[in-house]
Structure 1
Amino acid sequence: MYRTKRRPAMFLTIGVVFLMIVICLLFIVFSPGHMAKRVVNEFYSYEQLGNFGDSWQLLHPFMKEKWPKSTYITDRSHVFMGHFGSETFEYSIEGGEKISGWSMSKDTPKFKKVYKFEVIQEYKGKYGAFAFVQDVYVVKNNEGDYEIVWDYNQ
């Protein structure tokens, strides 16, 4: 009876391919663009639940200066949930374009590296179905955390 010794080579090949796939997935999951998108997703997940205090925590300090926490919580819940008559919303995140030299407003310094996403929030409320489209920017702070910034350039 004839037997080949291809099994070790086959297992080695499968192992190498599997290892390459795992390494590629790790690079994707921990890439700056992917991590920036995760922060946007986390932010809007909190907003979707009406948890505006936790979403506020993900804002950049420039944003927190514009919106103190209590004001932010009150305004977001009042406008988006109260006026529109909607308990929640669905959202989608597009993009992830990396840009440099962008600033939040004419009064703030430029960020070296920024990730730009387009977020679409879809509501079904007392005034029917409607959607908001907003560009959302993500920057990395000095501690290595990613934070949300909006565009106030006029």
Structure 2
Amino acid sequence: MPQYHVLFVCLGNICRSPMAEFVLRQRAAEAGVAHRISVGSAGTSGWHDGENMHAGTQKMLTEQGIPPVGFTSSKVKGSDIDHYDFIIAMDDDNLANLERLFGKHPDKLFKLTDLIPESGYAHVPDPWYTGDFAETFRLVDAGSRALLKKLGLAEA
């Protein structure tokens, strides 16, 4: 069985990308495929290295029955391109930063919203600025489900 390695990336690695990390891990467990996928998250800035996820992210995950435990913020590393099968950005700026670091790899580096074109969103809005953690959850949940389908780990 293939093992997929997925890295979600946002700016500070305290709101969107950790939420996506925990949601995908939960959805994979619910689908019975947790053993076939490993999930991480990182930020492009490193501003919050070593910190826990944002309280709003913790609250949203808890409300959804996903325990927000065992997280520490970190910055994207140059070796991530070799370790991860997919590096999924939350917005255009994140993707541009990743492409500057790794080059263009459209099958490996893309935005979460590319998986859910029907959402009408071109990026996942940052709840650090919007305060809308529920909107972020809806998008990362839909994107996580779409990724599992794309990988053949969940039914279409």
| Structure ranking higher in strand proportion | 1
Higher relative contact order (CA 8 A, sep 6+): 2
What TM-score results when the alignment is normalised by the length of structure 1?
0.27
User: Max radius of gyration: which structure?
Assistant: 1
TM-score scaled by length of structure 2: 0.27
